[in-house]
């Protein structure tokens, strides 16, 4: 649920906003974009036995969806978008926290992937953590290239940098923004330099 606020939020009052409902989620977005680029993708997930879950999985038309259906409602995130583009998320993980290690490893064995990507939200959610770690272990033990995203700074802080670093030792590639990287590394791995305006070079005279 995306809510684009018209200005700063008025505490205990109304702030006009443009609101729309859409599919999404870090894992689903990654799967959809990879499929758009022509890759064969299997998306392993958990959804509720509800209209929302059926609608979200049907949207992924070019993706093979291996969904575990649960009694919990399909996960939902309220995304508050400021006028400057900054976002704050209010997640209700719902069925996401019912994803099991058994479902993940069975789906991986069935699709025999060349690469395994694990959403950081799967690792950071207490209910789905075992499933995320099982995916990393499954790929590591078979020598299959593996990547993971760090997802979001706040749950990284709540989980603890030491634990996250230990989990990531079984990955080949870690995807993170600057704030997320700072949580799990003692020193920023990114060197920031002032942006320089690049002027187009003058055309060389023709001979």
Q: Are residues 70 and 107 in the same domain?
A: no
Q: Name the residue range of residue 125's domain.
A: 99-189
Determine the 3-state secondary structure of 148 from DSSP: strand
Judge whether 202 lies within some domain: no
pLDDT digits (tens, 9 = 90+) for 78-118: 999 999 888 999 999 999 999 999 999 999 999 999 999 99
Q: For residue 103, how far is the Cα from the chain centroid?
A: 19
Same domain, 69 and 137: no
78 & 139 share domain: no
105 and 119 in a common domain: yes
- Of the pLDDT bands very low, low, confident and very high (cuts 50, 70, 90), residue 200 is very low
State the Cα–Cα distance between residues 1 and 88, nearest whole angstrom.
12
Q: What does the DSSP assignment read for 21-80?
A: -----HHHHHHHHHHHTT---EEEEEEESSHHHHHHHHH-TTSEEEEEEESSPPPEEEEE
What pLDDT, in 10s, does the model give residues 152-181? 999 999 999 999 999 999 899 999 998 999
């Amino acid at each position: 649920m995306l809510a684009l606020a018209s200005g700063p939020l008025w505490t205990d009052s109304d702030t006009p906003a443009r609101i729309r409902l859409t599919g999404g989620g870090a894992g689903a977005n990654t799967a959809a974009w990879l499929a758009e680029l022509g890759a064969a993708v299997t998306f392993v997930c958990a959804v509720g036995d509800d209209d929302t879950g059926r609608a979200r999985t049907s949207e992924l038309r070019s993706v093979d969806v291996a969904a575990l259906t649960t009694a919990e409602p399909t996960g939902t995130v309220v995304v508050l978008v400021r006028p400057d583009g900054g976002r704050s998320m209010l997640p209700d993980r719902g069925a996401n926290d019912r994803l099991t290690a058994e479902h993940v490893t069975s789906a991986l064995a069935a699709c025999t992937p060349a690469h395994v990507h694990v959403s950081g939200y799967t690792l950071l959610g207490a209910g789905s953590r075992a499933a995320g770690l099982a995916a990393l272990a499954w790929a590591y033990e078979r020598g299959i290239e593996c990547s993971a995203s760090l997802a979001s700074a706040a749950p990284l802080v709540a989980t603890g940098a030491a634990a996250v670093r230990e989990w990531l030792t079984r990955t080949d590639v870690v995807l993170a923004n600057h704030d997320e990287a700072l949580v799990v590394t003692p020193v920023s791995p990114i060197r920031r330099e002032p942006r320089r305006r690049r002027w187009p070079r003058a055309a060389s005279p023709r001979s």
